[in-house]
């Protein structure tokens, strides 16, 4: 009996020792380890210092190996050939132009400012739970704010405060008097001796937008004792989806309209139309025509729009695009020629299955893609824009295509997106890249090299009348580069503009 007792005690001792060891190791390797980094050690950290890497060694942070501005907003525009506002105007006008430009730019910035551009930092060890992203309300409408809560240790009383700037708080619950203070206002306090109750009340707080704005945000602050958090509520009127009916058989003719512009060169236009009709006999062709003595273009599915004489290149593109009723349009120059490799179906497939807005193809086997880079400048000198040939990277799912910023004069595009950017009619004679500059940030552009079109051969015209037409055309096309330069700068209004342009022809 004594032996059994003592072995029993012995067993218990062993158990206790094992337990103690387990607790010791658990504490040592989990609790302690987890707790240790939380201990405040500001004094130590404050003495630490890191030297920053010199900027010339940070070129790897720039996508094109340039200098990394690191939020300094002081681009140098030292890449490529320069076009500056200064060069485009008479020096005696430059001061007043700069003044006007500054005012316009300030207006632009004001229109585009958003509280969402402010950085919000979450403070450490916050006992607050709140939504950090994705809360959205339509203007003047209401939502229940999701995810509000407090996780704190025992207190005698709990009080939290919500503050908004563009909307008011309410509740959808029957809350006893005295708990909510400031209902219907921009500042609401919730007070309760019970944390559990406080959290239940917080579940039913609503936010109501009070200013009709189609796209902004309210930064709401949520505070408990010394802990404060901020989170955005997006106030946004979603635009109406614009859907197009592709028809029962999803015929390409119900999805795509061909647009072009002609000026004097009817002989070239007729060759283009004949080549289109060999492959797409039923596709609508829209022609904008600013010739002096218009010739009627006959044929089924052709719409010819006559414009005042020499109205210009972009005015014509604008007019043609504005008359398109299909989901997509195809832009083609009047002197191009469709071949069996001009497979519009391929371009259509890319647009139907990716988020691209514009897709270009190859002309005479050349790709003519260009990337646009935009760098922040300072208030006085403006920003820098420059272009480099090529694409950013391959288009997912389409190995023959790349994502880029601008393409050649042969592209298929979403009609609505083209119209939203528009072709600036101030650019009358030489303009193409300008459309993609205007579309920077609103058009996603790609280019595919497995779809081809060719230029019509530059034959020496034997007919005297055609020779005269070509000569006249050339005078318009090449006469006025000075006009191009100044219009270009007016259109963009960004001083310090650097742009590498290349012509397709
Ligand atoms: C901007 O950069 C230029 C040189 O590129 C320099 O001379 C100028 O001081 C800089 N300005 C500011 C505000 O950093
Ligand atoms: C073009 O339209 C005509 C008449 O509707 C039709 O008979 C013909 O098959 C169509 N051609 C093509 C290639 O779709």
Q: What is the domain-level CATH number for residue 431?
A: 3.90.550.10
In a domain? residue 52: no
Whether 185 is covered by a domain: the verdict is yes
Q: How confident is the model at residue 90, as a pLDDT?
A: 81
Gap from CA of 282 to ligand 2 centroid (Å): 6
The DSSP bridge pattern shows strands 445-455 and 358-363 to be: parallel
Gap from CA of 187 to ligand 1 centroid (Å)? 44
Residue 305 · residue 288 · CB < 8 Å: yes
Q: How close is the Cα of 99 to the center of ligand 1, in Å?
A: 21
CATH code where residue 171 lies:
2.60.40
Mutate which of 251, 279, 281, 338 to test ligand 2's pocket (most atoms within 8 Å of Cβ)? 281
Same domain flag for 286 and 376: yes
Residues 288, 159 share a domain: no
Residue 404 lies in a domain: yes
Please name the residue whose Cα sits nearest to atom 12 of ligand 1.
Answer: 74
Q: Which helix (H) or strand (E) holds 445?
A: strand 445-455
Whether 503 maps to a domain, the answer reads no
Contact 320, 259 (CB under 8 A): yes
User: CA 261 to CA 15: how far, in whole Å?
Assistant: 93
Three-class secondary structure of residue 47 per DSSP:
coil
Other residues' Cβ atoms within 10 Å of the Cβ of residue 493: 16
Ligand nearest to the CA of 284: 2
Protein residue closest via CA to atom 10 of ligand 2: 282
The whole-number pLDDT of residue 44 equals: 60
Q: For the chain, count helices (H), then strands (E).
A: 13, 23
Query: Are residues 143 and 257 both part of a single domain?
Result: no
- The encoded tokens of residue 104 equal 């316009």
C-alpha dihedral sign at 183, 188, 192, 194: positive
Whole-structure pTM value: 0.81
Please name the residue that has the structure tokens 């939203």.
Answer: 420
Q: Residues near ligand 2 with C-beta < 6 Å?
A: 281-282
Does residue 453 contact residue 363 with C-beta atoms inside 8 Å? Answer: yes
Residue appearing with tokens 């070509």: 470
Full domain range(s) for residue 199: 126-236
pLDDT given for residue 280 in this prediction: 97
pLDDT at 106: 86
By C-alpha distance, which of 194, 172, 190, 173 is closest to 182?
A: 190
The two three-digit tokens of residue 100, written as one number:
């006007």
Backbone Cα Rg of the chain: 33
Atom from ligand 2 closest to the CA of residue 251:
14
CA within 13 Å, CB half, 222: 27
Same-domain status, 289 and 211 = no
75 Cα to the center of ligand 1, angstroms: 8
Q: Which amino acid residue places its CA nearest to atom 2 of ligand 2?
A: 282
- Chain centroid, CA 100 distance in Å: 27
Strands 411-414 and 328-331 turn out to be: antiparallel
Q: Which of 206, 205, 223, 204 minimizes the C-alpha distance to 150?
A: 223
403 closest CA partner among 392, 415, 411: 392
Considering every ligand atom shown, identify the ligand nearest to the alpha carbon of residue 55 and give its number: 1
| pLDDT computed for residue 310 by the predictor | 84
Quick check: is 388 in a domain? yes
Claim to verify: residue 228 and residue 261 sit in the same structural domain: no
- CA dihedral sign, ordered 317, 322, 323, 326: positive
Burial degree of 152 (CB within 10 A; 0-12, 13-18, 19+): middle
Identify the pLDDT of residue 384: 83
* 107 CB-near residues (< 8 Å, 6+ apart): none
Q: Are residues 230 and 295 in the same domain?
A: no
Domain count, the chain: 2
Residue 390 included in any domain: yes
- Do 434 and 375 share a domain, yes or no? yes
Of 169, 203, 236, which residue constitutes the final position of a domain? 236
Cα separation, 432 vs 505, in Å, equals: 12
Instruction: Classify residue 370 as exposed, middle or buried by CB count within 10 Å of its CB (0-12, 13-18, 19+).
Output: buried
Domain check: are 205 and 333 in the same one?
A: no
DSSP 61: G
Residues 294 and 210 grouped into a single domain = no
> Is beta strand 149-150 parallel, antiparallel or unpaired with respect to 445-455?
unpaired
Q: Are residues 268 and 210 in the same domain?
A: no
- What is the C-alpha separation between 87 and 485, in angstroms, rounded? 9
- Point out the ligand nearest to the CA of residue 381: 1
Instruction: Mark the ranges of the chain whose per-residue pLDDT is less than 70.
Output: 1-7, 10, 20-46, 71, 80-81, 84-85, 428-431, 459-462, 476-505
Residues with CB under 6 A from ligand 1: 72, 74, 76, 378
Q: Are residues 338 and 389 in the same domain?
A: yes
CA distance 130 to 120: 13
Q: How far apart are the first and last CA of the chain?
A: 110
CA of 281 to the centre of ligand 2 (A): 7
55 belongs to a structural domain: no
Measured from the alpha carbon of residue 252, the closest ligand is 2
> What is the CA angle 65-66-71, rounded to 5?
120
Contact 396, 348 (CB under 8 A): no
- pLDDT confidence of residue 100: 85
Q: Report the relative pairing of strands 187-192 and 128-129 from DSSP bridges.
A: unpaired
DSSP class of residue 406 equals: B
Is residue 272 located within the same domain as residue 315? yes
Say if 437 falls within a structural domain.
Answer: yes
Residues 6+ apart with CB under 8 A from 399: none
Query: C-alpha angle 154/163/143, rounded to 5°?
Result: 95
Residue 416 CA to ligand 2 center (angstroms) comes to 27
Ligand 1 pocket: which of 56, 72, 74, 379 to mutate (most atoms within 8 A of CB): 74
Domain final position from 204, 236, 268: 236
Last residue of a domain, one of 178, 210, 236: 236
Asked if 355 contacts 457 with a C-beta cutoff of 8 angstroms, the reply is no
Ligand showing the shortest atom-to-Cα distance for residue 281: 2
């Amino acid at each position: 009996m004594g032996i059994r007792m003592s072995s029993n005690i012995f067993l218990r001792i062993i158990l206790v020792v094992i337990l103690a060891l387990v607790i010791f190791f658990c504490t040592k390797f989990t609790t302690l380890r987890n707790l240790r980094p939380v201990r405040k050690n500001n004094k130590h950290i404050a003495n630490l210092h890191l030297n920053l890497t010199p900027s010339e060694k940070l070129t790897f942070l720039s996508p094109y190996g340039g200098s990394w501005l690191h939020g300094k907003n002081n681009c140098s525009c030292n890449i490529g050939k320069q076009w500056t506002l200064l060069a485009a105007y008479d020096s005696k006008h430059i001061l007043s132009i700069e003044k006007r430009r500054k005012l316009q730019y300030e207006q632009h910035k004001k229109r585009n400012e958003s509280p969402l551009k402010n950085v919000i930092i979450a403070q450490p060890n916050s006992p607050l739970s709140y939504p950090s992203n994705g809360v959205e309300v339509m203007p003047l409408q209401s939502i229940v704010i999701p995810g509000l809560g407090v996780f704190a240790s025992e207190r005698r009383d709990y009080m939290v405060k919500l503050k908004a700037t563009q909307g008011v708080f309410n509740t959808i619950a029957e809350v006893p008097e005295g708990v909510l203070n400031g209902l219907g206002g921009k500042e609401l306090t919730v007070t309760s001796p019970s944390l559990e109750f406080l959290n239940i009340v917080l579940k039913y707080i609503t936010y109501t937008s009070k200013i009709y704005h189609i796209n902004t945000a309210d930064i709401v602050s949520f505070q408990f004792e010394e802990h404060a958090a901020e989170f955005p509520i997006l106030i946004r009127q979603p635009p109406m989806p614009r859907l197009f009916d592709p028809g029962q058989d999803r015929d390409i003719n119900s999805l795509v309209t061909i647009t072009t512009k002609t000026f004097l060169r009817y002989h070239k236009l007729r060759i283009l139309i004949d080549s289109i009709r060999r492959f797409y006999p039923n596709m609508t062709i829209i022609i904008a025509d600013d010739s002096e003595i218009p010739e009627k273009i006959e044929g089924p599915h052709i719409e010819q729009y006559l414009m005042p004489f020499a109205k210009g290149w972009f005015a014509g593109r604008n007019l043609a695009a504005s008359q398109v009723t299909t989901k997509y349009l195809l832009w083609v120059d009047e002197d191009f020629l469709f071949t069996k490799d001009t497979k519009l179906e391929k371009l259509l497939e890319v647009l139907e299955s990716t988020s691209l807005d514009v897709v270009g193809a190859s002309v005479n086997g050349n790709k003519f893609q260009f990337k646009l880079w935009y760098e922040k400048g300072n208030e006085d000198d403006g920003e820098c824009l420059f272009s480099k040939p090529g694409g950013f990277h391959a288009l997912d799912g389409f190995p023959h295509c790349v994502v880029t910023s601008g393409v050649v004069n042969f592209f298929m595009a979403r009609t609505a997106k083209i119209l939203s950017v528009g072709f600036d009619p101030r650019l009358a004679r030489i303009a193409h890249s300008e459309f993609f500059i205007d579309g920077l940030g609103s058009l996603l552009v790609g280019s595919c090299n497995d779809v081809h079109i060719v230029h019509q051969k530059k034959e020496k015209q034997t007919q005297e009348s055609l020779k005269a037409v070509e000569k006249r055309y050339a005078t318009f096309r090449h006469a006025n580069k000075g006009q191009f330069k100044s219009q270009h700068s007016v259109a963009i209004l960004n001083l310090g503009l650097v742009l590498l342009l290349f012509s397709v022809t």
